[in-house]
Chains A and B, each alone.
Chain A
Amino acid sequence: MRVLAAMSGGVDSAVAAARAVQAGHDVTGVHLALARNPQTYRTGARGCCTLEDSRDARRAADVLGIPFYVWDMADRFHADVVDDFVAEYAAGRTPNPCLRCNEKIKFAAVLDRAVALGFDAVVTGHHARLGPDGLLRRSVDAAKDQSYVLAVLTREQLDRSIFPLGDSTKAQVRQEAAERGLAVADKPDSHDICFIADGDTRGFLAGRLGETPGDVVDATTGAVVGQHAGAYAYTVGQRRGLHLDRPAPDGRPRYVLSITPKTNTVTVGPAEALEVSTVRATRPVWTGGPRPDGPIECEVQLRAHGVVVPAAVTVAGDTLHADLRHPVRGVAAGQAIVAYRPDPAGDIVLGSATITD
């Protein structure tokens, strides 16, 4: 096959490209330039969008002996991921930009362009398994598993995707990179959000949405217990950084229960009030088999690296409904609910949807 390897400059995508070459594919490497001004993104080894990362990717491609190009996706990334990220927070939700980037950039804009240019598939260094059965499964490395941020992909997108790393642990990937003479073998993992240079999400949002002071309200008493500089800066389940004026009557810690953009209010309350037993979500994608007619028993994950709980999931039209078998705390609108079917060969992604409440 003619395949396009998306190369971030990190160790995972370099080894993924190497394995695609070894598998006999005709591989072309592409680095996505996502920053309008590369200097404003994370510097050095921590990010995936800097000039250094671009050079690391090119060096890896040279070692593999494959053609390498840089594709400018900065405008698309800004519109579909960064602006969306800000708008979601402004609406009181908690977005996952990595998931959005997979959905709109890597497996949409990039994949579409690749297919138009005559490529058969896109290869990435995601830690997830995608075998000949077409089912997306968790990586063997549970700590590095990225099936959650890939669960948003449709059947058409999965059919044109190759994830060569799913059967390997991160340690094995690093070891292989070293054996292949790839200089990125020891490069630190990227984490946090690539377009927020200093990791300060609240500051990033404040710079775009401005300061909008409002009340922090106790859910039990209805009393105003503090002030905030912008409701968008809070996430359901958050405990730190609330700066409340007075303690709760019972002296127990309080958490963010909800964010109401309309009234610019942050509501806080005790931990047990965070508990959720049903989850509603929109825009379902179902790839783990035929879309079910009625409720099915499975496991659901409600945020990246979050806990997994048994649930009965019903998909109907444009909505997904989950009855959780035991309550979960800190479910935030805007995150994805991903349904898995436990399987000895790797838990299978059945489908996903975006949590509304």
Chain B
Amino acid sequence: MAYLDHAATTPMLDEALEAYVATAREVGNASSLHASGRRARRRVEESRERVAAALGARPSEVIFTGGGTESDNLAVKGIFWACRAADAGRRRVISSAVEHHAVLDAVEWLDRHEGAEVGWLPVDGAGRLHPDALRAELAEHGDRAALVTAMWANNEVGTVQRIGELAAVAAEYGVPFHTDAIQAVGQVPVDFAASGVAALTVTGHKLGGPVGVGALLLGRDVPAVPLLHGGGQERDVRSGTLDAAGIVAFAVAVEAAVKGQQEYAAGLAALRDDLVGRVRQAVPEVVFNGDPTDRLPGNAHFSFPGCEGDALLLLLDAQGIACSTGSACSAGVAQPSHVLLAMGADDDRARSSLRFSLGHTSTTEDIDALIAALPGAVERARRAAAPRTPR
């Protein structure tokens, strides 16, 4: 089997799994006062320091959560609510058209249910956001803006944004800036303080940690209204008993991913470039999507003209190759990717796309298997999509 879907989830690192199991064997609620509680709290706080150090944040800026979707929702809704509470005139949320649904749907929910207004920032044909577009938006609406949210790197097409420049523009207008860095951490350098963002989402299972644990890095001076109320853990912003085992494993994975990032990214990019070159050779009419240079090293994203992505996925799956159409599902029905549509692709091209994403277990053999299966799959998918004479 060739697993080419690391952007969906990637296998846990051995050291993270071992740390998880070791901690999970220990009893202790980090909020308890006795020895077991103190031991659990020590593990959690050490992990907080490790995550902070790896990502250029202060330990007090690390809010542990149940993963990326929760962190995104906490940032988008929490910061919006806090801004609006401080100044009822600030209810505009500025976002990009290519966000993950964890941000996109949270923003749309605020629009529909909380009286937010939304400014959508366009992207270019490579999926890039332009600081000038944000500047123009803020010049016009900056006094009403509660939040800017834009992802560090796109989960579908892999385009990496100039987050530092965008955050600097937001800072000029005094508007808090959140970034979803879920795909970025471990693949490109990510430094919370240096980037100038107010809030940053990171999750465990995209970088070798467990599913169901992540963090929101939240500046000390950035108020956020909690989504979850209860015991007041995590600066009162995120109540709930801390998942010590998950947090320890998450911290181990973040530390390892960041430490080895440069070397890892270089190796991954070389493998990815090999994949891209061989796919182009095997299917010459393929369209390579996203920014050719400013992109995640593990991401390769293509449109296959004349094919439907879900037909290709079925055919490759039958040959033991795991990849993704990269787009959202409603009831399992493939929708054309909003990311590609925002990049100016038409419906057909958006539906004809597949994402291959590499990770720490990827090998040349995975690519060999893909290239062996791909031309036949493309030919079949094309036949399946061809219009037929009506009966």
Residues of A within 8 A of B (CB): 28, 31, 33, 38, 51, 54, 58, 67, 69-72, 74, 103-104, 108, 112-113, 116-118
Residues of B within 8 A of A (CB): 310-311, 313-315, 317-318, 329, 331-334, 380-381, 383-384, 386, 388, 391
Separation of A70 and B315 alpha carbons in the complex (Å)? 14
Separation of A112 and B388 alpha carbons in the complex (Å)? 9
Separation of A74 and B335 alpha carbons in the complex (Å)? 12
B314 engages A67 (CB within 8 Å): yes
B residues less than 8 Å from A113 (CB atoms): 311, 384
B331 engages A70 (CB within 8 Å): yes
- Contact with B391, one of A28, A58, A70, A104 (Cβ below 8 angstroms): A104
B314 engages A28 (CB within 8 Å): yes
Closest CB pairs A-B (n = 8): A70-B332, A116-B384, A116-B383, A72-B333, A33-B333, A117-B384, A51-B331, A113-B384
B333 engages A117 (CB within 8 Å): no
B380 engages A38 (CB within 8 Å): no
Chain B proximity of A282: nearest CB distance (Å): 15
B332 engages A58 (CB within 8 Å): yes
B residues less than 8 Å from A72 (CB atoms): 333-334
Chain A proximity of B85: nearest CB distance (Å): 34
Separation of A34 and B338 alpha carbons in the complex (Å)? 22
A residues less than 8 Å from B318 (CB atoms): 28, 67
Contact A69 B388, CB 8 Å, known A31-B332, A54-B331: no
- Contact with B380, one of A54, A74, A112, A117 (Cβ below 8 angstroms): A117
A/B interface sample: 18 pairs, CB < 8 A:
A28-B318, A31-B332, A33-B333, A38-B331, A51-B331, A67-B318, A69-B332, A70-B332, A72-B333, A74-B333, A103-B391, A113-B384, A116-B384, A116-B386, A117-B315, A117-B383, A117-B384, A118-B380
Separation of A58 and B333 alpha carbons in the complex (Å)? 13
B384 engages A69 (CB within 8 Å): no
A residues less than 8 Å from B313 (CB atoms): 69
B residues less than 8 Å from A118 (CB atoms): 315, 380
Chain B proximity of A196: nearest CB distance (Å): 20
* Most chain B C-beta atoms within 10 Å of own C-beta, residue among A51, A117, A118: A117
* Most chain A C-beta atoms within 10 Å of own C-beta, residue among B310, B332, B381: B332
User: Tally of A-B residue pairs with Cβ under 8 A?
Assistant: 46
- Contact with B311, one of A67, A104, A112, A117 (Cβ below 8 angstroms): A117
B residues less than 8 Å from A70 (CB atoms): 329, 331-333
B391 engages A108 (CB within 8 Å): yes
B383 engages A33 (CB within 8 Å): no
The closest CB in chain B to the CB of A54 belongs to B331
Separation of A38 and B330 alpha carbons in the complex (Å)? 10
Contact A67 B317, CB 8 Å, known A104-B391, A108-B391, A117-B384: yes
The closest CB in chain B to the CB of A154 belongs to B391
A33 engages B315 (CB within 8 Å): no
- A28-B318, A67-B317, A117-B384 given; name 4 further pairs at CB < 8 Å: A69-B314, A117-B315, A117-B381, A118-B315
A residues less than 8 Å from B334 (CB atoms): 72
The closest CB in chain A to the CB of B391 belongs to A108
Chain A proximity of B326: nearest CB distance (Å): 16
A33 engages B381 (CB within 8 Å): no
The closest CB in chain A to the CB of B383 belongs to A116
The closest CB in chain B to the CB of A68 belongs to B332
A residues less than 8 Å from B381 (CB atoms): 117
A116 engages B314 (CB within 8 Å): no
Separation of A104 and B315 alpha carbons in the complex (Å)? 24
Separation of A70 and B330 alpha carbons in the complex (Å)? 10
The closest CB in chain B to the CB of A58 belongs to B332
The closest CB in chain A to the CB of B384 belongs to A116
Chain B proximity of A113: nearest CB distance (Å): 5
B residues less than 8 Å from A116 (CB atoms): 380, 383-384, 386
Separation of A24 and B301 alpha carbons in the complex (Å)? 36
B residues less than 8 Å from A33 (CB atoms): 331-333
Separation of A28 and B318 alpha carbons in the complex (Å)? 9
Chain B proximity of A277: nearest CB distance (Å): 32
B residues less than 8 Å from A69 (CB atoms): 310, 313-314, 332
Chain A proximity of B300: nearest CB distance (Å): 23
A residues less than 8 Å from B315 (CB atoms): 117-118
A residues less than 8 Å from B380 (CB atoms): 116-118
Contact A117 B314, CB 8 Å, known A104-B391, A108-B391, A112-B388: yes
A residues less than 8 Å from B332 (CB atoms): 31, 33, 54, 58, 69-70
Separation of A72 and B347 alpha carbons in the complex (Å)? 15
* Most chain B C-beta atoms within 10 Å of own C-beta, residue among A38, A51, A69: A69
Separation of A31 and B310 alpha carbons in the complex (Å)? 13
A residues less than 8 Å from B383 (CB atoms): 116-117
A residues less than 8 Å from B333 (CB atoms): 33, 70, 72, 74
Separation of A28 and B314 alpha carbons in the complex (Å)? 9
The closest CB in chain A to the CB of B315 belongs to A117
A residues less than 8 Å from B317 (CB atoms): 67
Separation of A108 and B331 alpha carbons in the complex (Å)? 23
Separation of A160 and B386 alpha carbons in the complex (Å)? 20
A residues less than 8 Å from B388 (CB atoms): 112
Separation of A352 and B313 alpha carbons in the complex (Å)? 38
Separation of A117 and B377 alpha carbons in the complex (Å)? 8
Separation of A51 and B313 alpha carbons in the complex (Å)? 22
Separation of A112 and B390 alpha carbons in the complex (Å)? 11
Chain A proximity of B38: nearest CB distance (Å): 43
B residues less than 8 Å from A51 (CB atoms): 331
Chain A proximity of B214: nearest CB distance (Å): 26
The closest CB in chain B to the CB of A157 belongs to B391
Separation of A70 and B317 alpha carbons in the complex (Å)? 14
Chain A proximity of B376: nearest CB distance (Å): 9
A residues less than 8 Å from B384 (CB atoms): 112-113, 116-117
B residues less than 8 Å from A54 (CB atoms): 331-332
Chain A proximity of B57: nearest CB distance (Å): 40
The closest CB in chain B to the CB of A38 belongs to B331
Chain B proximity of A34: nearest CB distance (Å): 10
The closest CB in chain B to the CB of A112 belongs to B388
* Most chain A C-beta atoms within 10 Å of own C-beta, residue among B318, B331, B383: B331
Separation of A112 and B318 alpha carbons in the complex (Å)? 18
Chain B proximity of A152: nearest CB distance (Å): 11
Separation of A33 and B334 alpha carbons in the complex (Å)? 11
The closest CB in chain B to the CB of A104 belongs to B391
A residues less than 8 Å from B310 (CB atoms): 69, 71
